């Protein structure tokens, strides 16, 4: 079975580099499924789980935005943050979710609302990736 080299990199350094048969990611334009030989492209990513498939197994990685660059034999994900399930501090993610929900319920200016909404999406994504 053909594979793609997948590199996930953040400002803090590399998070993952391995070969996979398929990559699924949520771009701002919609869901992408990438197989070896895919046409080259660049797409902005949303806060979501990137799914990586190899030999019938599936791995997930929580990414907070960034970009996906596709070449026929390589996928590079440049993300603000990226965490494997084993790296997620579940208690910290739960507390971040609760804090963001409280902030969203209180009346505040637009900037704080957007920041709280972003924090909530990140926390929910981390909890989802950790739980699966």
End-to-end, the C-alpha distance of the chain in Å comes to: 26
Query: Structurally, how many domains does the chain consist of?
Result: 2
Whether the per-residue pLDDT at 101 is higher than 90: the answer is: no
Average of pLDDT values for 48-65?
93
What are 70's strand-pairing partners? 41, 75
pLDDT of residue 6: 97
> pTM, whole model, 2 decimals?
0.82
Look up the CATH number of the domain holding residue 114. Answer: 1.20.5.440
For CA atoms 38, 39, 42, 45, give the dihedral sign. negative
pLDDT of residue 108: 64
Q: For 66-79, what is each residue's pLDDT tens digit?
A: 999 999 999 999 99
Examine the domain organization and report whether 72 and 8 are in the same domain: yes
């Amino acid at each position: 079975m053909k594979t793609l080299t997948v590199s996930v990199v953040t400002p803090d350094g590399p998070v993952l580099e391995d070969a996979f048969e398929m990559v699924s990611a949520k771009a701002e334009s919609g869901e992408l499924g990438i197989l070896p030989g895919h046409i080259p492209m660049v797409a902005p990513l949303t806060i979501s789980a990137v799914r990586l498939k190899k030999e019938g197994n599936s791995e997930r990685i929580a990414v907070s935005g960034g970009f996906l660059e596709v070449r026929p034999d390589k996928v590079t994900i440049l993300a603000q943050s990226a965490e494997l399930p084993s790296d997620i501090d579940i208690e910290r993610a739960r507390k971040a979710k609760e804090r963001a929900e409280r902030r969203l319920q209180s009346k505040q200016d637009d900037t704080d609302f957007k920041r709280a909404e972003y924090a909530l999406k990140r926390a929910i994504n981390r909890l989802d990736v950790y739980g699966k």
